[in-house]
Amino acid sequence: MGLMRRLGVGSESESDSNEPYECRGCEASFTVRYQVCPECGGYTIERDDWD
């Protein structure tokens, strides 16, 4: 996906968001997808645009 993003291919919501991942437990936002949320210890980290 990195190459596609650099080429400008993809949805605008992906390129507009600086922190595309969000913990569903505490709603903290991140630039990378963690396996475990560093804020609350939750296991549900998903892309923000997957709502």
Is 6 within a domain? no
Is 2 within a domain? no
Domain count, the chain: 1
Is 4 within a domain? no
Tokens (6 digits) for 42: 């939750």
Is 5 within a domain? no
Is 9 within a domain? no
DSSP H helical segments within 1-51, as ranges? 2-6, 12-16
Domain that holds residue 42: 16-50
Is 31 within a domain? yes
Block means of pLDDT (10 residues each) for the chain, length 51 residues? 53 60 94 94 88 58
> What is the per-residue pLDDT for 15?
45
> What is the per-residue pLDDT for 27?
93
Could you tell me how many residues make up the chain?
51
